[in-house]
């Protein structure tokens, strides 16, 4: 069998660096959620957020609900389609609740703007965003938080195509415990898409 890391050029954040930073973000989020009167709803954006969400919430010792939505914008390529679709909706009712959206990465901002509008329509009273990576160089739509929502981020990400810790290329590499930069020859074939 082929190792999970075939095609990785170099490591951007090691497993230990990821873990340390997730702990810091979790502490900040926990302190804020403790000040909320009602349990918050933590909404992970599948599939990319699954590892970050799992590592985050187990370090947030506060009563909360966890749910997932699926919002897809990249398909199998490396470029955002710009038209995200909600392909799987919430199970939990977020009306009147504080929602914390958990993402692996904010790139153009299209996925979040679509999801935040959706959650607002469902009556969320406030919406925070907690993203593992933030790539501001690629932003096309600014992140509009709702109510007293806050923006939390793990790392600012340079403008490379990164994979691992939930982030995929063509659905692969999500299980790497670190964040790495993909060798350009791995996706060059897609540049005509």
Interface contacts to Mn ion, rule CB under 5 A? 45, 48
Burial class of residue 162 (count of CB atoms within 10 Å of its CB; 0-12, 13-18, 19+) = buried
List the single partner that 53 binds among Mn ion, ligand PRP, Mg ion, none, CB under 5 to 8 Å by kind.
none
Site for ligand PRP in 80-99 (CB under 6 A): 80, 84
Q: Which of 8, 94, 105, 129 binds ligand PRP (CB under 6 A)?
A: 105
Contacts 24+ apart (CB under 8 A), 158-164: 158/12, 159/135, 160/12, 161/78, 161/187, 162/12, 162/105, 162/133, 163/8, 164/8
Which of the 8 DSSP states describes residue 139?
-
Closest distance to Mg ion from the beta carbon of 81 (Å) = 11
Question: Does position 101 bind ligand PRP by CB under 6 A?
Answer: no
Q: In this chain, which of 8, 25, 29, 48 binds ligand PRP, going by CB under 6 A?
A: 48
Which of Mn ion, ligand PRP, Mg ion, none does residue 105 bind to, with CB < 5 to 8 Å depending on kind? ligand PRP
Subset of 27-86 contacting Mg ion (CB under 5 A): 74
> Binding residues for ligand PRP, how many (CB under 6 A)?
18
**Which position's Cβ is nearest Mg ion?**
74
Q: Is position 109 an interface residue for ligand PRP (rule: CB under 6 A)?
A: yes
Question: Cβ of residue 15: shortest distance to ligand PRP, in angstroms?
Answer: 19
Nearer to ligand PRP, 19 or 113 (CB): 113
Pairs from 81-86 (Cβ < 8 Å, separation ≥ 24): 82/108, 82/110, 82/140, 83/110, 84/110, 84/111, 84/114, 84/115, 86/114, 86/115, 86/118
The least CB distance from residue 108 to ligand PRP, in Å, is 3
Burial class (CB in 10 A: 0-12, 13-18, 19+), 191: exposed
Question: What is the smallest separation between the CB atom of 91 and ligand PRP, expressed in angstroms?
Answer: 18
Residues that are catalytic = 107
């Amino acid at each position: 069998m082929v190792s999970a890391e075939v095609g990785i050029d170099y490591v951007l954040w090691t497993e230990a660096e990821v873990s340390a930073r997730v702990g810091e973000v979790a502490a900040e989020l926990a302190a804020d959620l403790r000040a909320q009167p009602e349990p918050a709803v933590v909404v992970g954006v599948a599939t990319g957020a699954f590892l970050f969400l799992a590592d985050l919430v187990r370090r947030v010792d506060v009563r909360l609900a966890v749910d997932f939505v699926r919002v897809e914008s990249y398909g199998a390529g490396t470029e955002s389609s710009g038209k995200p679709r909600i392909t799987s909706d919430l199970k939990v009712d977020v009306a009147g609740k504080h929602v914390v959206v958990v993402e692996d990465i904010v790139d153009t901002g299209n996925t979040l703007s679509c999801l935040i509008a959706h959650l607002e329509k469902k009556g969320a009273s406030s919406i925070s965003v907690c993203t593992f990576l933030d790539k501001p160089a690629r932003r096309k739509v600014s992140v509009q938080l709702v109510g007293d929502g806050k923006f939390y981020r793990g790392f600012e990400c340079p403008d490379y195509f990164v994979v691992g810790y939930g982030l995929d290329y063509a659905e692969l590499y999500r299980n790497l415990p670190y964040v790495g930069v993909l060798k350009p020859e791995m996706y060059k074939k897609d540049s005509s898409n």
